[in-house]
Amino acid sequence: METPCVNICLLDADTGLCVGCGRTIEEIARWATMSEGERRAIM
């Protein structure tokens, strides 16, 4: 699975989720090292 990033990188202060891709900052940071299964579980 490719990155779900849509180049709208803005974290919502209330939810902690990226407005563009819906991931947390921790998930974004770990994305490149996650397995396919981990990526699917997030999305």
Q: What is the pLDDT of residue 1?
A: 82
Q: What is the pLDDT of residue 15?
A: 98
Taking Cα atoms as reference points, which of 27, 29, 8, 26 lies closest to residue 40?
27
The residue among 9 and 1 whose pLDDT is bigger is: 9
Confidence of residue 18 (pLDDT cuts 50, 70, 90): very high
Burial of 34 (0-12, 13-18, 19+ CB in 10 A): middle
The CA-CA-CA angle for residues 6, 28, 3, to 5°, reads 45
pTM: 0.85
Q: What is the mean pLDDT of residues 1-14?
A: 94
